[in-house]
A and B are shown apart, each in its own frame.
Chain A
Amino acid sequence: MSADISTEGTVFQPVPAATELTEPFWAGGLSGELRLQRCGACGHIRYPVSTICPECWSADYAWTAMSGRGTVQSYIVFARAYHEAWAGQVPYTVALIELDEGPVLISNVVGVEPAAVRVGQPVAAVFERRSTAAALPQFTPVAGKGGPER
């Protein structure tokens, strides 16, 4: 995350700092794709972004588009802002999203009141553009079966 950009007293939400490693993750969102690294050796799809596969340590990977579908594994609601850029957003939801392909992401559930979010709820990725180089994957509820399962 880069330093916050502040103009005339307005504090904007952080602009994700794309590195050579993470650039495809952030840029994918600009074209509406949730892209993660798929290991070229063992096929494991990993997250967070990393230089090697945590399963087999292969450095060979390909950025691969995910379906963007998943479920809410858990969620929390920030009733107050711990960073002033979120002052106008409260209450907002931060969630653990389990993608259909397996990986778990920390993200937001948007387009729904926090009180209506449920564990196990099916969601689909949407993207919030934060700069010309980065769009943030977030999730919004979609119809479908779901429920808390361990």
Chain B
Amino acid sequence: MGASRQGKLPGETDLSLATEALRAALDDSGFAKSDIDGLLTMPGTTTADPAKHYLRLGEHLGINPKLAASVSAGGATAGMLVQQAALAVNAGMAEVVAVVFGDAARTGGSRFSAPSGAAISSGNWGMYGNAANSALGARRHMALYGTTSEQLGWVAVNGRRNASLNPNAVMREPITIADHQSSRMIVDPLHLLDCCLISDGGVAYLVTSRERARDAKKGAVDILGMGQGHTLQTLERKDWWYLPHQQDCISRAYRMAGLSPADIDVAQLYDNFTISVLFWLEHGGFVKPGESGPFVEGGKRIALDGELPVNTAGGNLSESYMQGWLHVVEGVRQMRGEGGPRQVDGARTCLVTGRGMTLQTAACLILGASS
């Protein structure tokens, strides 16, 4: 795996950042460009003609693969593409699949404030921005279970604390609950510090067979389980706000891996907004429905030395908003024991989750340290 520089990178494009990331992934693995025979990509928010992104990137990189596709499923895409790559490798359709993303969202002016909605736009009712959907879920969770804004704040504080130990993180200055509470309201009940960043950057992975992975310079990580779940309808599902597909997604991965929540040592949970981490904790079976607020309160249980260390590199909230792509990178790092000051002692399994679009798509991986 590899990542480009992150943050505000004037002059870079989705292609240049994807290239930088793939170069880093090749360096990390010791593999050569000529080893790549599969190309799966996610277009950036600034990519024109996104369905043909694999085509433009392949042309740019000089890769003529046996297998290629682009998928746009927001934050679930990283997991979905790793899964497709693994399936292709297992089926013998490709041996080394490059899974690549690059985006110049920050300098390209992506604002994530467009109205959402299908045949009848919710913009008619003044509903704008990605934060709105998650804010609706947060409010209902608060009303049903007594979850508080301060509890959400602990997710942000935890992410920033971990990011302060990550030299590649965009936001590294520690924050407090008071900072969270005094940050401006974006859409009530979500404050600024409940929201992810907007970043330029690229991320790439190489997915190959266990046998071929023995050649990898720094060692490879096993994929123990994979799952997806999608509630592609929104308003037609009364429980859409609770994102039941996330639970399905993780259950499927547990089943494939033969593991249960108690077997997970560390978790990289998709955090477009702080509330998402609370949902994942419930859907991953780490706590019962409604109990995620008290679980994160105080930040101890989700800290690096806690019961379930969460977002050990800082996540979308503090490391960089790569739509969950860096969550996989950090999962690999933790499984290879390369976390440095933020390494979770003895971690052998890592749950990595992603979710995207209008909260509709979910994908997860359970990574395992190579035995």
Instruction: For chain B, residues 94 to 120, give those with C-beta under 8 angstroms from any C-beta of chain A.
Output: 113, 115, 117-120
**Given A94-B127, A108-B125, A77 and B236 contact (CB-CB distance below 8 Å):** no
Q: Which residues of A contact B187 (CB under 8 A)?
A: 76-79
- A47 near B235 (CB under 8 angstroms)? yes
Cα A91 to Cα B129 in complex, Å, equals 16
**Given A47-B235, A76-B139, A106 and B122 contact (CB-CB distance below 8 Å):** yes
- A1 near B123 (CB under 8 angstroms)? yes
- A94 near B119 (CB under 8 angstroms)? no
- B139 near A14 (CB under 8 angstroms)? no
Task: Give the dominant DSSP class at B's interface.
Answer: mixed
Chain B 136-162 interface 0/1 with A at a Cβ cutoff of 8 Å (1 = within): 110110011000000000000000000
Q: Give how many A-B residue pairs fall within 8 Å (CB-CB).
A: 118
Q: Which residues of A contact B35 (CB under 8 A)?
A: none
Cα A118 to Cα B143 in complex, Å, equals 8
**A40 lies within 8 A of chain B by Cβ:** no
**B238 lies within 8 A of chain A by Cβ:** yes
Cα A106 to Cα B119 in complex, Å, equals 13
Q: A78 is contacted by which of B120, B126, B143, B235 (Cβ under 8 Å)?
A: B126
**Given A21-B119, A48-B235, A106-B117, A76 and B189 contact (CB-CB distance below 8 Å):** yes
**B185 lies within 8 A of chain A by Cβ:** yes
Closest to A18 in B: B120
- A1 near B115 (CB under 8 angstroms)? yes
Q: Can you give 19 contacting A-B residue pairs, CB < 8 Å?
A: A1-B115, A1-B123, A13-B126, A47-B236, A48-B236, A54-B236, A73-B238, A74-B241, A77-B188, A78-B188, A83-B123, A83-B128, A92-B126, A96-B241, A103-B236, A104-B236, A104-B238, A106-B127, A136-B124
**A127 lies within 8 A of chain B by Cβ:** no
Q: Which residues of B contact A129 (CB under 8 A)?
A: none
Q: Please, how many residues of chain B have a CB less than 8 angstroms from a CB on the other chain? A: 37
Q: Which residues of B contact A79 (CB under 8 A)?
A: 184-188
Q: Which residues of A contact B126 (CB under 8 A)?
A: 13, 78, 81, 83, 86, 89, 92, 94, 108
Q: Please, how many residues of chain A have a CB less than 8 angstroms from a CB on the other chain? A: 48
- A49 near B119 (CB under 8 angstroms)? yes
Q: Which residues of A contact B120 (CB under 8 A)?
A: 16, 22, 25, 48-49
Q: Which residues of A contact B128 (CB under 8 A)?
A: 78, 82-83
**Given A47-B236, A54-B236, A86-B126, A96 and B136 contact (CB-CB distance below 8 Å):** yes
